[in-house]
Structure 1
Amino acid sequence: MSIKSSIATFAGKSSYWFLHNVLKGGTSFPGKLAMKIDPEVLEDLGQNYETIIVTGTNGKTMTTALITQTLKEKYGDILTNPSGSNMAQGIVTAFLAHSQKGQRKIAVLEVDEANVKAVTQLVHPKAFVLTNIFRDQMDRYGEIYTTYEKIVNGIKLAPEATVIANGDASIFSSVDLPNPKVYFGFETEKDKPQNDLKAGVNTDGVLCPKCNHILHYHAISYANLGDFFCPNCGYKRPELTYKLEKISEQTPSKIAFTIDGQDFAINIGGTYNIYNALAAFACAREFDVSGEEIAQAFAKNKRIFGRQELINYQGKEINIILVKNPVGLNEVLSLLNTEEEPYTLAALLNAHHADGIDTSWIWDGDFESLEKEKIKQIIVGGERHKDMDFRLKVAGFDPAIMTVEADFDQLPDAFTKAETKKVYVLSTYTAMLHLRQIFTDKGVLKRRIN
């Protein structure tokens, strides 16, 4: 370790200690400080770690958490960035905060798609886990092909690293890479090879990456994910190494499913979270974790901040769910339709850089599909509450059950006054952080997210 790196590490660790022991928070500042002193400090911090990079549009945080939990079953302590701070400074902070105690030095890092190359240059990953790619923050990432190119540019710097990718996403097998490859996907009893299906008319990413013909499917799980094939050039889904074989139960708070003949369950809802669990299963098996150990880890899974995070507050069950793009939003709306009890819906919309400054994506969300009879009240908030209020009225919701609460500080009181016990909060990223901070200040949550 160079003198500059040593100074950077000392300064970063000292600031982390001060922030977490005196101010009780801070996830990225220690990393910013260390990188200011030595921009390449991560290379020294990550030395000797077997690093797994988790990236993609949706599901990075949950997949990272599940992989970490499964690896802990076999190897004990695992380094990760659990706050979802997935830019370079947040990753540096994760290394600064970690004291290795496990049998094997493994780091599981959620990495923003645009930062894969920069992080790869410094940590030399052993594996990449690719969840999916959908249109997301067009002002920042551009089209899905641009996003994937950013990821590929990073993967090419580590040709010996194993790529563990969602085989149901046609884009992930479209580029010839020298890396060892492992694919996971859905192959349930209802998936029939003779089926010839097309994705919905408003679905992105359905052109063949080889010839630009419209892709067909033997089965579609959601959006553009499924057993795809091109009738024009013959491009098709790669052979799956790990397969989801059955979904036996789906509720807003639990999923039971079968992978490669073994039954699993996680205490969280949504088909998209089955993909996250499948990605974690594939990664864990590649790191020699047994199916039994994975099942134990999944059973211990805790809800993570902002991803179906359940907050019990003054008799209300407040479920915070992050939404940030049309595909993710539509899957959450499908999740809400599995709720059997009446509930209050809250929709919080911000438009900062971390959210995406263009809010037009809410018009691609299928709010019209919500089962309206279950929704007894709607609370609209966030800095762009007028946009969300208008969108929901266009979707056909009765204005009489809708209220606007523009003041974040008043939202907890608005939730407690709701006529239903259950409150589902759909929130963009910075709005979610703001709401969590309010609950932290009230003493309801212990961890401060900055």
Structure 2
Amino acid sequence: MAAIPAAHTQRGRPISPALPRQVWRSAAIGAGNLAAWASRRTGRGSGASIRGQVITKLYPDAFTELVAGRRIAAISGTNGKTTTTHLLTAALRAWVDDPTDVVTNADGANLREGIASALSQQVHAPIAILETDEQIVPAMVRAGHPEVLVMLNFSRDQLDRHHEIKSLGKKWRDALAEAGGKGPVVVANIHDPLVTWAAEAAQHTIWVDMGIGWTQDAALCPNCGTVLRYGGDNGWSCPGCMMAQHPADFSVSGDQVTGPHGEQWLLDLAVPGRFNRGNATCALAAAIVMGVDPAVAVQAMSTVRAPAGRFSTGHFGETTARLLLAKNPAGWAESLLVMQSDPVVLAIDSAIADGTDVSWLWDVEYEQLAGRHVVCTGPRAQDLAVRLSYAGVEHSIVPSLTEAMHAHYDHPVDVLATYTAFLHLCRMGGVTW
């Protein structure tokens, strides 16, 4: 085949740029939809991911063009972005006249390809609530000009991919500083120093006390490198540059959220855990920024039950299991608090999507499971068993997920899993979303 002239490869389009852009974008979306259909037909998945890959391969400007011109709320951070996205989406859909005016990447595909995939299915929806991977927040700020950006936390996650979280925080800070007055309203977690440092570059920030604080990834001040001080009524502070925890505009205590003027709302969430009450508080603040009546937002958020399979119930023969997902030490620390069964099942994998480095197991306080039996399963069950031995937690090893889930249990069990194992368990247990 003859070489394609350089003019015909401009901007990566497969054929002549003289043809109308919308035609070729539509053609790319059509090809992506066909790939998604084939993925579903062959049982390989929902097709959302492959759709996005095909669209962006054939039309590289798809992400930039599809995010443009919408009212966008972007949600990012290491923990809680999927659930927060679902909560905020429920609030917006309850507020608008036509729920189809709100598009979201509900399946959690949050890179450029996943976002393009979701938006391609509702090209004309004026509002987009988008879970956004930490790596592409700067691109979202620059291309999508979001109305609001929810910044949850930074924690070590997939150490082989996000090995230096401060570099991510700096990219967020730089993008917000560059955006200036045209940048988003930022809803930021006051407990995370790196989030605080990044958010301080925004023109307008709403500070949220999420009721939780993970400090193991925040020993040093991101501004000057001095060891941070923790404790006291004012939270954390830096003795070197006087950077410190901000007073909260929104805060949560138990199920009660307090607003900036003393307003109070009672959460009635179907998703458990104090971390989800913190997520809901951020979602409520973002909803208010976007004009939603807070009473409507709170009621709508109560309808969210199993965002992208999290906290869903799976059935494995005679075994009934509640499935929880956690991907890093901060997530595991909070998720262990809501596990109620005895025994509990912990499923560990280290595929690419999980991060191949599982040394984070040693940062989780498994000692809190003392007195209960733990079933260790998944490809890295042995690694988990070693950690539990040092924690003094009684455990057994069942490497096969299938065998572990089809064992005899006297009552429903709680299962906490890393990402790849979680997806496998959802398929095994008949959980869809």
TM-score category (smaller protein) = 0.7 to 0.9
2:375 equivalent to 1:379: yes
2:71 equivalent to 1:58: no
Q: Distance in 2 between matches of 1:326 and 1:99?
A: 37
2:110 equivalent to 1:86: yes
2:413 equivalent to 1:423: yes
- In the TM superposition, what are the counterparts of 1:20-419 in structure 2 within 5 Å? 20=40, 25-75=46-96, 76-77=99-100, 78-98=102-122, 105-156=126-177, 158-159=179-180, 160=182, 161-175=184-198, 176-186=200-210, 203-217=216-230, 227-244=235-252, 246-247=253-254, 256-260=255-259, 261-313=264-316, 316-336=319-339, 339=340, 342-370=341-369, 372-373=370-371, 375=372, 377-398=373-394, 402-414=395-407, 417-419=408-410
Higher alpha-carbon deviation: 285-294 or 110-119: 110-119
Pick aligned residue for 1:6 from 26, 29, 41? 26
Which ranges of structure 1 fall in alignment gaps of 5 or more residues?
Answer: 189-198, 221-225, 248-255
Q: Distance in 2 between matches of 1:113 and 1:186?
A: 19
2:35 equivalent to 1:15: yes
Task: For 2:225, give the aligned amino acid.
Answer: N
Aligned to 1:125, the other structure's residue is in SS state coil
Q: CA 1:258–1:180 in 2, change beyond 3 Å: closer, same or farther?
A: closer
TM (normalized to structure 1)?
Answer: 0.81
Q: Is the 8 A contact 1:163 1:180 kept in 2?
A: yes
Q: Is the 8 A contact 2:48 2:117 kept in 1?
A: yes
- What is the aligned length? 402
Q: Name the % identity.
A: 27
Q: Is the 8 A contact 2:321 2:412 kept in 1?
A: yes
Q: CA 1:265–1:212 in 2, change beyond 3 Å: closer, same or farther?
A: same
Q: Is the 8 A contact 2:166 2:222 kept in 1?
A: no
Q: Distance in 2 between matches of 1:211 and 1:380?
A: 42
Residue 431 (structure 2) aligns with: 445
4+ long deviations beyond 6 Å: none
Q: Is the 8 A contact 1:13 1:96 kept in 2?
A: no
Q: Distance in 1 between matches of 2:413 and 2:315?
A: 10
Q: Distance in 1 between matches of 2:172 and 2:241?
A: 25
Q: Distance in 1 between matches of 2:276 and 2:32?
A: 34
Pick aligned residue for 2:425 from 408, 423, 435? 435
Task: For 1:294, give the aligned amino acid.
Answer: A
Q: Is the 8 A contact 1:120 1:157 kept in 2?
A: no
Structure having the higher strand fraction is: 1
Q: Distance in 2 between matches of 1:307 and 1:5?
A: 34
Task: For 2:414, give the aligned amino acid.
Answer: Y
Q: Distance in 2 between matches of 1:359 and 1:426?
A: 15
Aligned to 2:188, the other structure's residue is in SS state strand
* Alpha-carbon distance, 1:312 to partner: 4.7
Q: CA 1:209–1:150 in 2, change beyond 3 Å: closer, same or farther?
A: closer
Q: CA 1:391–1:410 in 2, change beyond 3 Å: closer, same or farther?
A: same
* Alpha-carbon distance, 1:18 to partner: 5.0
Q: Distance in 1 between matches of 2:345 and 2:146?
A: 40
Q: Deviations over 1:145-184 (max 9, x none)?
A: 1221233344455442222211222222324525322221
Aligned to 2:85, the other structure's residue is in SS state helix
Q: Deviations over 1:244-287 (max 9, x none)?
A: 2x31xxxxxxxx33333221121222221121111101100101
Q: Deviations over 1:19-47 (max 9, x none)?
A: 45785722200110011111111233233
Q: CA 1:134–1:82 in 2, change beyond 3 Å: closer, same or farther?
A: same
Higher alpha-carbon deviation: 146-155 or 76-85: 146-155
Q: CA 1:235–1:46 in 2, change beyond 3 Å: closer, same or farther?
A: closer
Q: Is the 8 A contact 1:5 1:44 kept in 2?
A: no
TM (normalized to structure 2)?
Answer: 0.84
Q: Distance in 2 between matches of 1:432 and 1:158?
A: 38
Q: CA 1:108–1:271 in 2, change beyond 3 Å: closer, same or farther?
A: same
Q: Distance in 2 between matches of 1:186 and 1:365?
A: 20
CA RMSD of aligned residues (A): 2.7
* Alpha-carbon distance, 1:310 to partner: 2.6
Residue 253 (structure 1) aligns with: none
Q: Is the 8 A contact 2:173 2:197 kept in 1?
A: no
Q: CA 1:94–1:157 in 2, change beyond 3 Å: closer, same or farther?
A: farther
Q: CA 1:187–1:97 in 2, change beyond 3 Å: closer, same or farther?
A: closer
* Alpha-carbon distance, 1:431 to partner: 1.1
